[in-house]
Structure 1
Amino acid sequence: MCDANVSATATMAEFGCNEHHQNEVISYMRFARSKRILRLKTVDSCFEELKDSRLVEETFTVDEVRDMLDGLHAVVRGEMEMELINTAHTNVLLLRQIHYQAEKFFLRLQTDISELENRELLEQVAEFEKTDFKATDKMNQESSKPKLAPLNEGGVSELLNKEIARLQEENNKLKAKLRTLESQAMSVLDDKTKAERALKDLRNVQGDQQLSAHANEISCLQNTVATLKDDYERSLTVSAASQNNLQENLVSAKHELLRVQEQLALAEKELDKKFQQTAAYRNMKEILTKKNEQIKDIRKQLQRYEPNE
């Protein structure tokens, strides 16, 4: 019995089957053999029925023999055609079960139709059915209780464990990359805040200096106007003849004041333009532009890895 078991295992091992798959193959071969025996019995019954129903006389004409053979041919042909169709449909259902189980674990099975006509493999299957298959049948009849396979045995569970480990490793890598991107984003935001604060301080300093200069100029002009006004009032009391000259001086002083104020406005615009052309202003503007671009890139990367967030 042990020799028969070893022989069966060695024969099926040549096909690349393990013990579990070997038992599945044996189960299918047993099913196919039972169907084949049943169909052969049907063919035998066709011939027996012909013998019992038609062969009752001692002599037959040619037409009678031809008629009996044609009828037997039609019956046997129908039985064989039905069996071949049923066998093909049974094989389709078997393949459906195998592929359905493979799809559960995201596997894609492939079949080589040319191997179905491999004479060497067909002879091995026939030899197995003649010798080892009979010995396996005896052994299976003696051991009626099936043995349960251990849960930690290789196969589907091993594939699932490998797939889970791979997904966990990939998930950890993505989490680490996400944490790195978040730290980079926080660093860029801090740099942007510092740059904006520095630019604001620089503008405040430049603005205070400009306002101080403008205030000094306006104060000087106001003093000049006040002096001219005092001179004009003094001139009214001194001489009426000089009134026209004082009025003209006052008018010219007012025009001068307007001209100076216009020049101050132009000077303020030029100072603002010069400030925008300074190296410090350009550097700050370039820094802010680069930081904004970095923030946009990091946001795109964050949306790629976690679009919901």
Structure 2
Amino acid sequence: MRFARSRRVLRLKTVDSCFQDLKDSRLVEETFTVDEVSDMLDGLQVVVHEEVESEIIHTAHTNVLLLHQLFSQAEKLYLKLQTDVSELENRALLEQVAEFEKAEFTSSNKKANQECNKPKLSPLNEGGLSELLNKATSALDEKSKLERALKDLQRIQGDQKLALKNKEITKREDTVAAIRSDFQKTLNASTVTQKNLEENLVATKHDFLKVQEKLTVAEKELENKFQQTAAYRNMKEC
């Protein structure tokens, strides 16, 4: 209320200065026409309208910020606050607020006496509420630590699983590469063996043909020799 009152007093002084500026700058003659008076009032209206509008907007915005702070603190204490907009138009309550403000700023002595008689809210740092708040804060901190530790553990486990998976993949790739290498060696050896067998078969076939040719020649020579013998001639004469 002190902040709002100081703002209101400052803005009212600004409005008063608008009227004073008009008097000092325009009211320099003894008589004015209707149009001149109307023009001065229109200009004054614009200036006062801007000042009042600016103050109303500023008051609304500061009230929003104040309520935001209160609700944020209530959330930290796990409190549920409820508002009744209809109470803002309650004339009886508004009159009580006006009386309170009037009593608050009438005099310092009267203010001190009324402060002693007014009921006060218990401070937040007294009683069990402060201890409850401390416990809640500690519990939230502990929860945050546990969540971080769990995330770190999950990350480490994930890294270990990934490393084992990569190791297993590498091992299998090495096994497949070894099998492929052995198969290629066997295939190459089989190709060489088949080629050698084919070459040996061709060579053997050539040797067989040579031997067969020699046998044919030998048979003919033997037959010729046999025909030249006396036994063959006697057998032929008989």
TM-score (norm 2): 0.48
The structure, 1 or 2, with the larger RCO (C-alpha pairs under 8 Å, 6+ apart) is 1
TM-score (norm 1): 0.38
